[in-house]
Amino acid sequence: MNEANEIVRPNGQIVGVDVGGTFTDLITIDQETKDVHLAKVPSTMDNQAFGVLAALNAAEVEFPAIDLIIHGTTTTTNAVLERKLSRTGLITTAGFRDILELGRRTRPKAYGMRGEFRPIVPRNLRLEIPERIDAAGEVIVPLDEVAVKRATEELLAQGCESVVIHFLHAYANSRHEERAAEIVSQVWPNNYITMGHALLSESREFERGVTAAVNASVQPLLESYIRRLVDDLADKGYDGEVLIMNGNGGMVSSSLVAHEAAKTVMSGPASGVMAAAYTGRKAGIEDLLTYDMGGTSTDVALILGAEPAVSNEIEVEYAMPIHVPMVDVRTVGAGGGSIARVNAGNLLEVGPESAGAAPGPIFYGQGGTKPTISDANLLLGRLNPEKLNSVETAVSFKDIERIFQDQLGTPLDVDATGAAAAIIRIANTKMAGAIRMVSLSLGADPRDFVLFAFGGAGPLHATALARELGVPKVMVPCRPGITSALGCVVADLRHDFVNTLNQPLDGADMDEVHAIFAAQMAEGERLVDKEKVEISGIKRVHSVDMQFVGQTHLLRVPLHTPTPDREELRALFEAAYFKRFQVELAEIKANLVNINTSVIGIRAELDLSTLIDPAGRKARLEEAKSGTRWVYFNDGWHEVPIYWRDHLPLDLELGGAAIIEQMDSTTLVEPGDIAHGDDDGNIIITVGAAS
């Protein structure tokens, strides 16, 4: 490591902060004293920095005492989804400016007659210049440097803030893109110049072009936000490093993040998955289905062998493929704030529209008048109705019940309780479908996994989802509502590399393959060494993307060495293909497409048991009991005990039904389930153990 790494004190105070669609969550851990402080405040989507500062103030941190801040952000994700992007131009090969619009000849609605698609870069800002390189990397048409300069001046005249240089087959020979970037940089007023091959050195010009266009269009927004946040923190007295979560589950310095801004898409969801992988590994449970239910949406992902599934082919929305490695997270519009309504066909719908943090669910008392999933849980006794009295502009239980009856119950010919129960069933069905998608699509059976439930609302629905999916156990971490912020604290540094070879395996130069792996490792280690963060070691992960000749889709094949021989690659690919599809294609030749390496700087271990103050735990289960409450289940109302989680003994064992409350979440243990604790403070629920 270089001398810059000595800036960070390994035993100092670390802050993790995650900005969600509804709440901004924060955790601060003093690694020397083991003190933990938590905060959950409404997100400020117009300027996320306000929410981050509010969370730091709520946790009562002393800014000069902080050694490191790690931040998961939705800045780039929101910008892409809402199309609030900077004005971006494209310089491309003559005849190919419409690649971003033609795409893959799909339709926004597979079975619809109408659909809308807006490319990242409008047609008038996509300019062509004479140049051509073929798939073998040979120059067919030399680069017209005068045309490059002319195109640059035209884009500047049209008010472009960033520019993409995207030439055909630049992955095979990058000289034209590199020379064009030199010409553009002579007159471009900033550093927002993206070369397609530099971000993604693989074939498929559509995906490479879209990825580069996304990167360029969010660069100014991300850098502006990060600069503003860093300045605000400095004004408060913080002079340390700010690390930003990438979508691949790793972190990168705030000073470097804007260069590859597209990699921060899915930053927030990735942090939760990394926390789940870390928690599961420490608990000896390495195969997990993660289920993160927040206020706006639910994110699900698969973890196998303590390693989250990572995909290079995430499509954020229609015709928006971002081909950089990201944790494979699937999202559905079902969160605590998801609004329920009766549609024109007199059917009950739940989501995707959300009440968000403002006005939020009805019981927030901030003017919300539409029934939500959280309101349904309140009516069913799963959330504490006594907390209504703590809201300044309190809404009574009767008022919520009346709204449910008027808007849902009467049209559906059921009472308010029946309407609330129906909302929960529909929401659970949607979330179970997402979990099936992320598991079955990767050839995994949900019954072989443990469901890791987090997010503020996740533990309320987890056991019902487990029953739906046949999952035998549910794992609820110490701080479910703050888990994504925890992911920022425990995440490693990570840099991913992809290079396209795209050759039949029989004809591939294996020395060239080995050289590419070596170059990827060297560059990754150089980037890790630049980070001002203490690490305990470096891990290198290698894989290749392969296909049978004639196929279009790729299969990721993990490798145990960066120097595989040809027959080893063939055997590994055929085994992986058979495992995924249960088909052997002995007569078809294999094609070696991409060479991949991830270089991971491993952070120091964290004692998870300190996330709940050990001094507050009681010796006996009965001492943690705070009362009883009537709670509705499928077979009717039950009077169930209520426990305060911070008081539960580590070695707890209790049979359902029960409610476990804590500062950031509520856990529901259904009738017939058994919950026990482990040494890290997690709660493991065995589903239907007593039935």
Share of the chain above pLDDT 70, in %: 95
**CA 379 – CA 255 distance, rounded (Å):** 48
Q: Given this model, what pLDDT does residue 360 score?
A: 81
Residue 674 backbone dihedrals phi, psi, to 5 degrees: -125, 130
Angle between helix axes 416-440 and 397-404 (nearest 10 degrees) is 70
Q: Which own/partner contact pairs does 103-110 have at CB distance under 8 Å and 24+ positions apart?
A: 103/206, 103/319, 104/206, 104/319, 106/318, 106/319, 108/318, 108/319
Interval 32-51 mean pLDDT: 82
| pLDDT above 90 for 380 | yes
Interval 623-640 mean pLDDT: 93
Which position has the higher pLDDT, 583 or 108?
Answer: 583
Which position has the higher pLDDT, 340 or 46?
Answer: 340
Write out pLDDT tens, residues 470-491: 999 999 999 998 898 888 888 8
Write out pLDDT tens, residues 584-619: 888 899 999 889 998 988 877 778 888 888 888 999
CB 490 within 8 A of CB 579: no
In the predicted model, what is the mean pLDDT of the chain?
Answer: 87
**CA 555 – CA 287 distance, rounded (Å):** 21
Spell out the residues 6+ positions from residue 113 whose beta carbon is closer than 8 angstroms to its own. Answer: none
CB 573 within 8 A of CB 566: no
Q: Given this model, what pLDDT does residue 458 score?
A: 92
**CA 455 – CA 440 distance, rounded (Å):** 23
Share of the chain above pLDDT 90, in %: 45
What confidence category does residue 113 fall into, taking pLDDT thresholds of 50, 70 and 90? low
CB count within 10 Å of CB 387 equals 12
Amino acid code (one letter) for 678:
D
| pLDDT above 80 for 141 | yes
What's the angle, vertex CA 484, arms to CA 480 and CA 490, rounded to 5? 105
Residue 517 backbone dihedrals phi, psi, to 5 degrees: -55, -45
- Give the DSSP letter of residue 491: P
Amino acid code (one letter) for 560:
H
What confidence category does residue 2 fall into, taking pLDDT thresholds of 50, 70 and 90? very low
**Given the structure tokens 């804007």, which residue do they identify?**
258
- Angstrom CA distances, 427 to 457, 465, 480, 552, stand at 12, 10, 19, 35
**CA 543 – CA 325 distance, rounded (Å):** 12
Looking only at the bridges linking them, the beta strands covering 23-30 and 36-42 are antiparallel
Number of H helices, E strands in the chain: 17, 35
- Angstrom CA distances, 432 to 323, 442, 616, stand at 27, 16, 36
Amino acid code (one letter) for 469:
L
Q: Which residues pair with 252 in a beta bridge?
A: 244
| pLDDT above 50 for 1 | no
What confidence category does residue 367 fall into, taking pLDDT thresholds of 50, 70 and 90? confident
What confidence category does residue 362 fall into, taking pLDDT thresholds of 50, 70 and 90? confident
Q: Given this model, what pLDDT does residue 357 score?
A: 66
**CA 53 – CA 457 distance, rounded (Å):** 24
CB 642 within 8 A of CB 659: yes
Q: Given this model, what pLDDT does residue 9 score?
A: 38
Interval 199-223 mean pLDDT: 87
**CA 253 – CA 242 distance, rounded (Å):** 6
CA dihedral 108, 301, 381, 674 (to 10 degrees): 150
Poorest-pLDDT segment among 76-90, 208-222, 403-417 = 76-90
Run of H or E including 175 = helix 175-185
Looking only at the bridges linking them, the beta strands covering 493-504 and 314-315 are unpaired
Nearest to 222, CA basis, from 165, 179, 251, 260: 260
Nearest to 241, CA basis, from 490, 531, 28: 531
Q: Given this model, what pLDDT does residue 12 score?
A: 67
What confidence category does residue 5 fall into, taking pLDDT thresholds of 50, 70 and 90? very low
Which position has the higher pLDDT, 115 or 295?
Answer: 295
Most confident of 36-40, 153-157, 170-174, 327-331: 153-157
Which position has the higher pLDDT, 391 or 298?
Answer: 298
| Three-state secondary structure call for residue 419 | helix
What confidence category does residue 685 fall into, taking pLDDT thresholds of 50, 70 and 90? very high
**CA 237 – CA 26 distance, rounded (Å):** 18
Interval 507-536 mean pLDDT: 87
**Given the structure tokens 């094949």, which residue do they identify?**
557
Nearest to 546, CA basis, from 571, 521, 519: 571
Q: Given this model, what pLDDT does residue 691 score?
A: 37
Q: Given this model, what pLDDT does residue 307 score?
A: 85
| Three-state secondary structure call for residue 426 | helix
Amino acid code (one letter) for 169:
H
**CA 473 – CA 433 distance, rounded (Å):** 18
- Give the DSSP letter of residue 103: T
Which position has the higher pLDDT, 130 or 392?
Answer: 130
**CA 496 – CA 493 distance, rounded (Å):** 10
Q: Given this model, what pLDDT does residue 390 score?
A: 46
**CA 558 – CA 573 distance, rounded (Å):** 9
**CA 370 – CA 364 distance, rounded (Å):** 12
CB 340 within 8 A of CB 424: no
Q: Given this model, what pLDDT does residue 421 score?
A: 95
| pLDDT above 80 for 346 | yes
Tokens in use for 96?
A: 């190919």
Residue 218 burial (CB < 10 Å; 0-12/13-18/19+)? buried
Amino acid code (one letter) for 398:
K
| Burial state string for 640-664 with b = 16 or more CB within 10 A and e = fewer than 16 | bbbbbbbbbeeebebebbbbbbbeb
Amino acid code (one letter) for 68:
L
